[in-house]
Amino acid sequence: MYILEVLSGPLDGKTWAFDREITIGRDDALAGACITLDRYISRRHAQVCDAGGGLVLADLASRNGTRKGGEPITAQTAIVPGERFIVGRTLLRVMRA
């Protein structure tokens, strides 16, 4: 089990638990992690998946992109628990529960 945590902005400290995958977005009908206060986040923006022991971050063709290490990601990208990434203007990380 994992925890997705917001590290900046008005939702600082907000968390969502997930087992295998979680979609991040602005539309609660499409996203398990709904961040409505960041207008730079698309309705269905990004996804984090457990890919057989490792985590994978993917941008879902969002308008403003997803960044890791300051660089936009263009394909599925491996991340490790605790590594920070930005969706819209919101800083996030995934931790093991």
End-to-end Cα spacing for the chain? 5
Predicted TM-score of the model (pTM): 0.94
- Rounded CA separation 23/47 (Å): 4
Q: Read off the pLDDT of residues 36-84 as tens digits, 9 standing for 90 and up.
A: 999 999 999 999 999 887 999 999 999 999 999 999 999 999 999 999 9
Output the 3-class SS for the chain.
Answer: CEEEEECCCCCCCCEEEECCEEEEECCCCCCCEECCCCCCCCCCCEEEEECCCCEEEEECCCCCCEEECCEECCCCEEECCCCEEEECCEEEEEEEC
Q: Report pLDDT for 34.
A: 96
Q: Report pLDDT for 53.
A: 76
